[in-house]
Copies of this chain bind each other. A is one copy, B any other.
Amino acid sequence: MAATLHDVSKLAGVSIKTVSNVINDYPYIRESTRAKVLAAIAELGYTPNLSARNLRIGRSNVISLVIPELRNAYFAELADSVMRAASGRGYAVLIEQFGNTREEELAVVRKARGQMVDGILYSVLTLGEDDRELLNEVKMPTVLLGERIFDGPKDHVTMQNVEGARAATEALLRDGRRRIVALGAHPGEVIGSAGLRLTGYREALDAAGLPLDDELVIPVDTWHRADGARAMRAFLDQDVPFDGVVAFNDTLAFGALRVLQEAGRRVPEDVALIGFDDIDETRYSMPTLSTIDPGRDEIARRAVDLLLRRIEEGADTVQPVEVAVPFRLIERESTGGPPDAATGRSLPLEPAVTH
């Protein structure tokens, strides 16, 4: 059995309170006492029981991050950013993935790890307006990441899906592309990432006076590499002419890129390609991938800030906040740009990590 405060206090010949004081850096302790206590702690290999401490003080200094799946590079990089932001402020992060189904997502939100965490960062995937009730029931401090689908009861940090997708599409239009594929649609969806990005795509076409051609909107189930590859292969089989692709995330774009290259289409000469997310891989692919940087790092930082404010100030009084983080269009080789417009170098020598 692990040593307790009590054991330490006995060994050191002081009271339990004194030991607690030493551990919690209470200032006014005689040096000799402190030394005795420290020695006893070392001898017993004592570590405080955090469950007990958490119970007592009512907090755990752990937040949870609820995401679809870590396997997806965007979420892995997001998780990394969140963890850095959180650990800088003394919080650990417990990650829960729910995969890509609505049922699992609902299940995770419903249980939401009880009180063992102080707050939740929740990256919404499929929930929509109809689920607002459910979110109301989550009493714990919660910050929503992802879509701006709730005018709702929670703080919300979002990327600019519509604007980003529009900028991506416009970049291709500017380059003279006229038959631009939208890769990654979720038919019928309006409010999720896929719906919003499709809206941005549509807006860009509208503004350019181009009609929306349904043949050019390619639906997929999920946003994995395999989906991008499969969908692009099926699309090529249909022999529909096209000269550009706006993929709704980078992973889809890479799946499609492989199939395009296999089929002998040159990127960007025959087909200009742009993704969304700015994952690390985009800077080193052949060609490097143009993309929308959604501001992942800032999203993480802002979200953690908001969440900790709710936690630490118990700020239930404050109105829910909505933050839309700015995006950046990054033009690289896949749309005829330089290898990496972000660094302006032939090929970036440092990973684009900014913390």
Query: Which of A96, A284, A349 has the largest count of B CB atoms less than 10 A from its CB?
Result: A284
Measured CA separation A353–B137 after assembly (Å): 34
Selecting from A110-118, A125-133, A208-216, the interface stretch reads: A110-118
Q: Is A187 at the interface (CB under 8 A from chain B)?
A: no
Q: Is A48 at the interface (CB under 8 A from chain B)?
A: yes
- Which of B45, B47, B79, B346 interacts with A70 by CB under 8 Å? B79
Selecting from A5-13, A143-151, A165-173, A257-265, the interface stretch reads: A257-265
Residue of B nearest to A77 (CB): B71
Q: Is A230 at the interface (CB under 8 A from chain B)?
A: yes
**Complex contact A257–B280 (CB within 8 A):** no
A301: B residues at CB distance < 8 A: none
- Which of B226, B261, B348 interacts with A349 by CB under 8 Å? B226
Measured CA separation A245–B87 after assembly (Å): 38
- Which of B77, B113, B285, B350 interacts with A226 by CB under 8 Å? B350
A50: B residues at CB distance < 8 A: 113-116
Chain A, 342-355, contact with B by CB distance < 8 Å: what is the 0/1 string? Answer: 00001111110100
Q: Is A109 at the interface (CB under 8 A from chain B)?
A: no
Measured CA separation A96–B86 after assembly (Å): 11
Measured CA separation A348–B47 after assembly (Å): 50
- Which of B48, B137, B233, B284 interacts with A258 by CB under 8 Å? B284
- Which of B92, B225, B257, B347 interacts with A351 by CB under 8 Å? B225
CB distance from A245 to the nearest CB of B (A): 15
A286: B residues at CB distance < 8 A: 257-258, 261-262, 286
Query: Which of A52, A113, A137, A226 has the largest count of B CB atoms less than 10 A from its CB?
Result: A226
| Size bracket, chain A contacts | 35 or more
Residue of B nearest to A111 (CB): B47
**Complex contact A281–B259 (CB within 8 A):** no
Chain A, 71-82, contact with B by CB distance < 8 Å: what is the 0/1 string? Answer: 101001101100
A54: B residues at CB distance < 8 A: 51, 116
Measured CA separation A95–B225 after assembly (Å): 25
A349: B residues at CB distance < 8 A: 226, 229-230
- Which of B137, B257, B280 interacts with A225 by CB under 8 Å? B280
**Complex contact B114–A49 (CB within 8 A):** yes
Chain A, 274-307, contact with B by CB distance < 8 Å: what is the 0/1 string? Answer: 0000001101111010000000000000000000
Q: Is A94 at the interface (CB under 8 A from chain B)?
A: yes
Query: In chain A between 167 and 194, which residues have their CB closer than 8 angstroms to a CB of chain B?
Result: none
Measured CA separation A47–B94 after assembly (Å): 19
Query: Which of A113, A114, A257 has the largest count of B CB atoms less than 10 A from its CB?
Result: A114
Closest 10 CB pairs of A and B: A76-B76, A50-B116, A51-B54, A51-B55, A50-B114, A70-B80, A258-B284, A71-B80, A261-B286, A94-B94
